[in-house]
Homo-oligomer: A and B are copies of this chain.
Amino acid sequence: MALTMYPLVLTISVATAVTAISSPHPLDPLSPREITAATSAVSASPLVLPSRSTITFHYVDLDEPEKPDVLSNDNTNTTTLRRHTFVIARAGGLTHEFQVDVTNPSSPSVISHDIHLGPGFPMFTKEEQIAAQALPPKYPPFVESMRRRGVDTWFNLSLIAISIIPFIAGSKPWVDMQDVVCRVLSMGWFGTVETRRVTKVQCFVVGATANFYARPIGGVTVVVDLERMVIVGYRDTGVSPVPKAEGTDYRAGKAGPPFNGELPAPGVVVQPEGKGVQIDGHVVRWANWEFHVGFDMRAGMVISVASVHDPDADQWRRVLYRGHVSEVFVPYMDPGEEFYFHTFLDAGEYGLGVEAVTLQPGADCPANAVYMDGYYAGADGKPVKTENVICIFERYAGDVSWRHTQIIRPSDEPISEVRTSVTLVVRIVVTVGNYDYMLDWEFMTDGSIKTAVGLSGILEMKATNYTHVDQIKEDARGTLVAENTVGVYHDHFITYHLDLNIDDTKNSFVKNNIVPKRNSGVRATGGAPTPRRSYWTVLPEFVNPNKTTEVGNQVGYRLVTVGATATSLLADDDFPQRRASYTKKQVWVTPYNKLEKWAPGLYAEQSTGDDNLAVWSKRNRRTKNEDIVMLYTVGLHHIPYQEDFPVMPTLRGAFELRPSNFFERNPLIRTAPPKNFSNCACSPRSR
């Protein structure tokens, strides 16, 4: 499509105060003013539609400057780079893409416009989800279905008893329609390319509990056309029980009598010499690390241009150009009518930044945390602020970064050198419907970066007639976590986009194979004349000799998995697997391409898998001594247990990027032993 410039002069009124950013950085997320400038420019563009009333904004993101330009401005003040945005909007039943120059937010200009014609749609807006969720309670067949469930004790009766309960017209519904809430569930893709943005809507009963996810209304399927905002499909397969409210609430004081056992004593981290972290706009400096923290509607948190200080060389060295969650694929394992389509792509369908929550100081993050706000574009193009959406804190977990005890000679005093481990955690928490993801990047003084996912929140549950395991005669597709409630089996595949940049843009991926070897006992054939019969050695598949240490080892970082290494078990030809076919492998290495940020493709909603990471990689592009990106998937098969009900204790998965012949030696070798402090005290403050 056409690529033309549309200079505009706009009067912009920004509802939210612009945060003062002391040092602008080329990778800074869009400011509220830039968001408004971009969406206003698009709305005013004659290309879109004569009437601007029907345009909705689905994605507004920084259109990253070229990597060489960013790196030449690395973490320093710059006014030379232009600020571009990338905008996805729906208008006239089409998906429009725009690039808008917002370098001067007072006069933004649309510099390109394109229309997406292939399969897949942009992320849902929050506004359309709210509108769709309001439809069923006003839809007469749905009201009728609710009336048919109008016996408030029926869920203790057997299925036979339920089937003979007569429908009594005009009887008082067992539940007020005010107690019915609904949620938009993306419907995935199952072989038919939809030209309409349709979605399924699932309804629940709130009643006496906040935990409506524990009380699904089974048997009812609602399909909504999101653009016309009408119900276009409805089916009620019959009355099935709604699980009871009792024992499901998770609010303090609502979860039954207060816990009567012993609780851990409260503790607070005190930093006697103040915080060690300095934040300048979005640039974070801490200990031997410097990096940029961004925020994006889809990715959530983005870590960029991370460099580590080399204490021996006394220089800053690049490690990571850009790292963020690329996608979260969550397929459920019930092929039945109400659950088969539960195959979510949380980032591409809902947006991790959109669903990120305001963090609770002292609870989501410890007392010594500092916070950043986030802004994204609403459907109307106006900036939406999420306060305290990212927190940054120094972690003192009581661990040791290195130690050694030695008595050299029997008469000597023991040497005991110990260095404590202090790390910097950067955290965002994303609640996508029922699930809460705690997404941490942890920077370590030994040069490592650890990336961790904590999963909490609420299971997706299915209403069932079963009240006891003994009644289950066929596969329940999950665990009976409470009476009438099955926690459905599912997976979580959190795929990270890791644009590593070890000292230089050009890198190579090295797979070190550990290979068992037989010792022949004969030196001439490479063996050793000892009784040892076997050992292992390391055979790298390929290496890149661009840069080596003084003794000649290739400089690099290595990937260390920390649990959660599951890959998808779905059939290759199954529709959800085709969309997320990349989840069959844990590690992908691809050449850098600014357009390949999102593992399932740019348009994940109702995507068909024709434009995803696995497809791109079929091109067998060169990855040796190139600007490469690694995509790594943290994978968990989640078999629910009763402990996951009514709210889940945090499950964890992680991985670590660890320096590997990157430094000449342990970079912490010259650090001083820890100081001791005494006379520490706090005064309590009520909440």
Contact = CB atoms under 8 A, between A and B. Distances in A.
Interface stretch (A7-15, A100-108, A514-522, A619-627): A514-522
Interface stretch (A156-164, A375-383, A636-644): A636-644
A251 B518 CA distance: 40
Contact of A402 (B260, B569, B639, B648): B648
Interface string A510-546: 0010101011000000111111111111100000000
Contacts of A420: 362-363, 366
A675 interface: yes
Contacts of A311: 259-261
A190 interface: yes
Interface stretch (A44-52, A166-174, A266-274, A610-618): A266-274
B531 A340 contact: yes
A363 B365 CA distance: 24
Nearest to A253: B672
B418 A551 contact: no
A681 interface: yes
Contacts of A648: 402, 666
Contacts of A68: none
A645 B665 contact: yes
Contact of A406 (B210, B481, B482, B562): B210
Contacts of A669: 250, 255-256, 646-647
A477 interface: yes
B247 A276 contact: no
A259 B257 CA distance: 54
Copy number of this protein in the oligomer?
2
Given A408-B210, A676-B687, A333 B536 contact: yes
A212 interface: yes
Interface stretch (A91-99, A138-146, A450-458, A492-500): A450-458
B364 A400 contact: yes
A336 to B, nearest CB: 4
Nearest to A209: B408
Nearest to A482: B551
A67 to B, nearest CB: 26
Contacts of A291: none
A269 B268 contact: yes
Contacts of A645: 665-666
Contact of A309 (B262, B366, B480): B262
Interface in A446-486: 446-448, 454, 456-458, 467-470, 474-475, 477, 479-483
A673 to B, nearest CB: 5
Interface in A557-599: 558, 560-563, 569-571, 573-577
Contact of A264 (B340, B410, B422): B422
Interface string A431-444: 10000101000000
Nearest to A312: B256
Given A264-B276, A365-B398, A649-B668, A436 B405 contact: yes
Interface in A414-431: 414-425, 429, 431
A519 B260 CA distance: 47
A417 B363 CA distance: 9
A686 B676 CA distance: 7
A530 B575 CA distance: 11
Contacts of A393: 398
Contact of A262 (B286, B368, B512): B286
Given A206-B408, A514-B569, A641-B659, A672 B252 contact: yes
Given A362-B674, A402-B649, A469-B548, 19 more contacts: A247-B665, A252-B672, A257-B670, A261-B311, A267-B396, A335-B532, A337-B530, A360-B416, A364-B418, A369-B398, A395-B397, A398-B425, A446-B650, A469-B552, A489-B536, A489-B537, A514-B637, A648-B666, A677-B683
